């Protein structure tokens, strides 16, 4: 079964065809970003641009994009952000979804979380997000970016914070921004010092404790279990979609419709996330709650 859902932020594809005794189902989130060059005014080779695109903010020196620089920057952005986010989480199938039969045995795959980032020109139809990009002059080390305005050095690793022990906290801004595009909030949103109803962009929302500060949705590069949220939430929508389809077609539910795996993905299933590979489980392993984290012996 391969099913697709389209969300405003990204598309999602659930593939259970790849399931076997050793391979899990795959849930791929696809994000299409449309990039648009910001060049110096008047077609000149160099000029200035205000931080945040705000005319009251300081200016930084920028240079005109060349075709090669543009292509290279986009390629680096896409490949590094995709590599950061793809294949990092496994959602554990505790609900007995997607049974897969092989050699007389039934296996229950987990869901491997994959990410595909497509970097288009802004003119391409169907992008989820459009991003303006300035090319900084080599003498400039920083530019005031925001969610729809990036700079050519946002892919570089720079110090964002300092831990309580004086350790530098480094981050490549673009992976943090892609986290936002996937729907993730800053690491401390929801804590008393960063209420979700307040300004979630305040500096305290980037993490106060060292452990939070170093998170990718703080000021660092560390992934956390909770960063699997976009995949978990997407999976819930697949469950909801299947349920709605079943309700609208009771016969399909009764006789096991072609679009459904049986049983349907449970709406109430938790799908806890893990950050290392968990292999598909047999019925007995599932019931016992056994985690299979190294390649198991299975009959071929």
Partner 1 sequence: MKSPKSTGVVAIVAVLVVGSFLVASCLLTVGEADAQQSRTCVMNPIQQSICIYQAILADVAKTYTLRGGGGISSIVQNSTTTFTVQIAQEGRKDLLNYTVKIGSGGKVEIVDKTQSAQTY
196 part of the interface to partner 1, by CB under 8 A = no
* 3-state SS record for 81-93: HHHHHCCCEEECC
190 part of the interface to partner 1, by CB under 8 A = no
Query: What's the angle, vertex CA 248, arms to CA 113 and CA 25, rounded to 5?
Result: 15
209 part of the interface to partner 1, by CB under 8 A = no
Q: Which CB atom, from 51 or from 94, has the smaller least distance to partner 1?
A: 51
**Spatial CA neighbour of 167 closest among 116, 214, 125, 231:** 214
What is the number of residues in the chain? 300
CB of residue 216 to partner 1, shortest distance in Å:
13
269 vs 93: CA distance, rounded Å: 8
204 part of the interface to partner 1, by CB under 8 A = yes
51 part of the interface to partner 1, by CB under 8 A = yes
Q: Which CB atom, from 67 or from 197, has the smaller least distance to partner 1?
A: 197
- Torsion angle in degrees (nearest 10) through CA of 260, 263, 265, 267: 120
Cα 11 from chain centre: 11
> Do strands 89-91 and 273-274 pair parallel, antiparallel, or not at all (unpaired)?
antiparallel
197 part of the interface to partner 1, by CB under 8 A = no
Q: Would you say 186 and 216 are in contact if contact means Cβ atoms under 8 Å apart? A: no
CB of residue 233 to partner 1, shortest distance in Å:
23
Q: Which CB atom, from 53 or from 183, has the smaller least distance to partner 1?
A: 53
CB of residue 141 to partner 1, shortest distance in Å:
9
215 part of the interface to partner 1, by CB under 8 A = no
147 part of the interface to partner 1, by CB under 8 A = yes
203 part of the interface to partner 1, by CB under 8 A = yes
Q: Which CB atom, from 204 or from 291, has the smaller least distance to partner 1?
A: 204
238 part of the interface to partner 1, by CB under 8 A = no
Residue of 199, 248, 268, 294 that binds partner 1 (CB under 8 A): 199
Look up residue 128 and give its DSSP letter: S
Which stretch in 4-12, 32-40, 113-121, 201-209 sits in contact with partner 1 by CB under 8 A?
201-209
In this structure, which long-range contacts are made by residues 22-25, counting pairs with CB atoms below 8 Å and at least 24 apart in sequence?
A: 22/279, 22/280, 22/295, 22/296, 22/298, 23/109, 23/280, 24/90, 24/109, 24/110, 24/111, 24/112, 24/278, 24/279, 24/280, 25/93, 25/98, 25/109, 25/110, 25/111, 25/112
32 vs 171: CA distance, rounded Å: 23
Around Cβ 278, how many Cβ atoms within 10 Å? 20
Which stretch in 54-62, 93-101, 130-138, 282-290 sits in contact with partner 1 by CB under 8 A?
54-62
159 vs 144: CA distance, rounded Å: 15
CB of residue 5 to partner 1, shortest distance in Å:
29
CB of residue 87 to partner 1, shortest distance in Å:
26
Which stretch in 72-80, 101-109, 160-168, 274-282 sits in contact with partner 1 by CB under 8 A?
160-168
Instruction: State the number of binding residues for partner 1 (CB under 8 A).
Output: 28
Residue of 17, 54, 121, 283 that binds partner 1 (CB under 8 A): 54
Contacting positions for partner 1 (CB under 8 A):
51-54, 57-58, 142-147, 149, 158-162, 168, 171, 173, 199, 201-204, 206, 219
């Amino acid at each position: 079964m391969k099913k697709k859902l389209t969300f405003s932020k990204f598309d999602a594809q659930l593939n259970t065809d790849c399931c076997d005794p050793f391979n899990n189902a795959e849930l791929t989130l696809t994000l299409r970003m449309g990039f648009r060059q910001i060049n110096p005014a008047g077609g000149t080779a160099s000029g200035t641009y205000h931080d945040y695109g705000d005319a009251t903010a300081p200016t930084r020196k920028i240079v005109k994009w060349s075709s090669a620089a543009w292509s290279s920057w986009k390629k680096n952005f896409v490949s590094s952000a995709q590599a950061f986010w793809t294949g990092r989480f496994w959602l554990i199938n505790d609900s007995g979804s997607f049974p897969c039969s092989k050699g007389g045995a039934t296996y229950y795959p987990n869901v491997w979380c994959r990410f595909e980032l497509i970097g288009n020109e802004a003119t391409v139809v169907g992008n989820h997000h459009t991003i303006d990009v300035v090319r900084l002059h080599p003498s400039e080390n920083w530019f005031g970016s925001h969610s729809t305005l990036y700079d050519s050095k946002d892919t570089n690793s720079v110090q964002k914070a300092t831990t309580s022990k004086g350790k530098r906290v480094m981050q490549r801004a673009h992976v943090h921004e892609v986290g936002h595009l996937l729907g993730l909030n800053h690491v401390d949103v929801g804590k008393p010092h960063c209420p979700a109803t307040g300004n979630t962009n305040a500096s305290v929302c980037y993490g106060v404790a060292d452990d939070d500060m170093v998170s990718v949705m703080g000021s660092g590069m560390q992934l956390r279990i909770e960063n699997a949220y976009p995949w978990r939430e997407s999976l819930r929508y697949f469950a909801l979609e299947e349920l709605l389809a079943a309700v609208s077609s009771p016969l399909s539910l009764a006789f096991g419709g072609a679009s459904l795996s049986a049983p349907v993905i449970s709406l109430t299933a938790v799908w806890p996330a893990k950050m290392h590979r968990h292999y598909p489980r047999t019925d007995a392993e599932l019931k016992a709650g056994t985690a299979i984290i190294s390649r198991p012996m299975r009959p071929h």
